[in-house]
A and B are shown apart, each in its own frame.
Chain A
Amino acid sequence: MPWELKSDRPIYTQLIEHIELMIFSGVYPLGSKLPSGRDMAQEAAVNPNTMQRALVKLEEDGLIITHRTSGRSITEDARMVELAKTKLAQAQISEFLEKMQLMGFEQSEILTIIDNMVKEMKK
């Protein structure tokens, strides 16, 4: 998954989102080992300190576990990942809802559009 960083938002929040996505999509499966912070920084072409900050935040959120001697790994707790996934989904949806409201759509109208689109995709 390529690291695409936008220039108008803090780098470290974007790194967090990117690593979360890699966990959710299974690039880093539960319990797997993470590359070193330095290697990840190099891959993303960002400052190692910034990557470090992102990893610390993910550790606080319980998605990553730091072992004293053998680096970092992804949590084995599927519930933790589910929780973070739901949080990300909610954030995405509320951003979408705000935009729709700006365009003047009522809640029921939004739901109808989504419903129709889902049916359309199933066909």
Chain B
Amino acid sequence: MSTILECTDLTKKFGSKVAVSAVNLKIERGQIVGLLGPNGSGKSTMIKLANELLTPTSGTILIGGKKPGIETKKIVSYLPEKTYLNDWMRVHQIIGLFSDFYADFKPERAYEMLKSLSINANDRLKTMSKGTKEKVQLILVMSREAELYLLDEPIGGVDPAARDYILQTILRNYNENATVIISTHLISDIENILDYVVFINQGQVVMTSSVDDIRNEKGKSVDGLFREVFKC
């Protein structure tokens, strides 16, 4: 198995505030990884560093052996925490935009998912509820045939039934060589589909483990362990 994402002494400071602090982390291909941590722990900052939306203060981050840039964006499909799509656009227009932008975008896959979630491709984003907008964005991101999917809080505003469908969608659409990194604090909903979890707190990686190792050794779920480790 080769490495898709590698951080070496990765540090990001905002002024005097350290958001990510000397992180060393290696993530192999073909896994679904949970990036778990309390609010403000550095989850989104890590993901933005992997996207070149932020640049490291020191240290390096490599995607498939390359620094984030044009080449890595071809293989990374990113779901940001906030939408960047124009809300006057209709869903089918956005699908056209994505088809132009990304060589690996599969419009037929997007239309199929829209249909199963009963979303009309002629609707404009601005007429949609928060949850529906989130679904549209996730559909767009998962309709690419990427090597690395970075999903920042993908299921936050979505109802439990749609959540199940979205998890199924993630399982169905990622191929064996692709890697999915999901940042979330809704752990109990997603832990069954994770291979591996990375706990981060105050910008540092505090634990990495496989889900079944945690259950085996501690006799509790990842959710239970999270509540214990990050008890307020």
User: Interface of A with B (CB < 8 Å)?
Assistant: 5, 7-12, 41-42, 45-50
Contact = CB atoms under 8 A, between A and B. Distances in A.
Classify the secondary structure of B's interface with A.
helix
Interface stretch (B86-94, B188-196, B198-206): B188-196
B28 to A, nearest CB: 11
Contacts of A41: 171
Given A8-B224, A45-B171, A49-B30, 12 more contacts: A7-B188, A7-B215, A9-B215, A9-B219, A10-B215, A11-B215, A45-B192, A47-B171, A47-B194, A47-B195, A48-B171, A50-B212
Given A7-B188, A7-B221, A50 B215 contact: no
Pairs A-B, 10 closest by C-beta atoms: A7-B221, A10-B212, A10-B215, A47-B193, A10-B216, A46-B192, A49-B195, A8-B220, A42-B171, A47-B195
B221 A8 contact: yes
Nearest to B194: A47
B221 A42 contact: no
A41 B195 CA distance: 13
Nearest to B219: A8
16 contacts: A5-B192, A7-B191, A7-B221, A7-B224, A8-B220, A8-B224, A10-B216, A11-B211, A11-B215, A45-B192, A46-B192, A47-B32, A47-B171, A48-B171, A48-B176, A49-B30
Interface string B154-185: 00000000001001100110001000000000
